[in-house]
């Protein structure tokens, strides 16, 4: 990713948070990624780590329509994905998609605390304020179905280096950065 793209995403996300009265903590930890795919407009996400402890973590995320967080699962992390602003669509599978071991049936996930049965790969649309709880092993991709979305995540301990299992083996959690201009914000992945 070009640093200019990262800077533009930072300013756009910050403007969205401000418009929707989402106060950020002092010196938040920013993470802006194209998942190493070189196409931020299609596979892009802005994340802010609000809390990162051994027991739990909390993130606030921003994306525009057309930006997908690619299909992935976690071996250890249990998470609530929350639509804070806009409308959020998730696609869910009980096991790795396109695998012979994927059960024929679907899965049941808690949506706003109530069990909801879904077919594998079915789209789940969350309105602002709604949440879905995902246990380890549930494969998921998500994207705003509104013009932009603010997404929350509350989870057990987060390990971006070892517990993100992406369906596409080309995906890298953090982007390579082309320094075409000065950084507007320091990223978790910035060295030094």
The burial of 103, by beta-carbon neighbours within 10 Å (0-12 exposed, 13-18 middle, 19 or more buried), is given as exposed
Kindly report the three-state secondary structure assignment for every residue of 149-192: EEEEEEEECCCCCCCCEECCCCCCCCCCCECCCCCCCCECCCCC
The count of other CB atoms within 10 Å of the CB of residue 13 is 26
Question: Does the domain at residues 3-166 carry the CATH identifier 2.60.120.10?
Answer: yes
Record the tokens describing residue 70, joined without a space: 């690619």
Per-residue model confidence as pLDDT tens for the chain (192 residues): 999 999 999 999 999 999 999 999 998 999 999 999 999 999 999 999 999 898 999 999 999 999 999 999 999 999 999 999 999 999 999 999 876 555 566 899 999 999 999 999 999 999 999 999 999 999 999 999 999 999 999 999 888 888 999 999 889 878 889 999 999 999 988 876
Torsion on CA atoms 146, 56, 19, 29, rounded to nearest 10: -110
């Amino acid at each position: 990713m070009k640093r200019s793209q990262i800077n533009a995403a930072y300013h756009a996300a910050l403007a969205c948070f401000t418009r929707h009265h989402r106060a950020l903590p002092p010196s938040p930890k920013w993470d802006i990624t194209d998942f190493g795919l070189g196409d931020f407009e299609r596979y892009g996400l802005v994340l802010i780590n609000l809390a990162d402890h051994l027991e739990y973590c909390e993130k606030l995320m921003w994306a525009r329509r057309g930006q997908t967080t690619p299909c992935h699962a976690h071996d250890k992390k249990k998470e609530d994905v929350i639509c804070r602003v806009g409308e959020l669509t998730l696609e869910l599978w009980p096991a790795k998609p396109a695998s012979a071991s994927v059960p024929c049936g679907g899965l049941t996930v808690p949506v706003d605390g109530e069990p909801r049965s879904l077919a594998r790969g079915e789209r789940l649309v969350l309105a602002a304020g709604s949440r879905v709880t995902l246990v380890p092993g549930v494969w998921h991709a998500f994207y705003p179905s509104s013009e932009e979305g603010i997404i929350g995540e509350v989870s057990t301990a987060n390990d971006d280096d070892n517990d993100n299992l992406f369906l596409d083996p080309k995906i890298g959690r953090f982007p390579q950065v082309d320094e075409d201009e000065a950084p507007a914000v320091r990223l978790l992945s910035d060295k030094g």
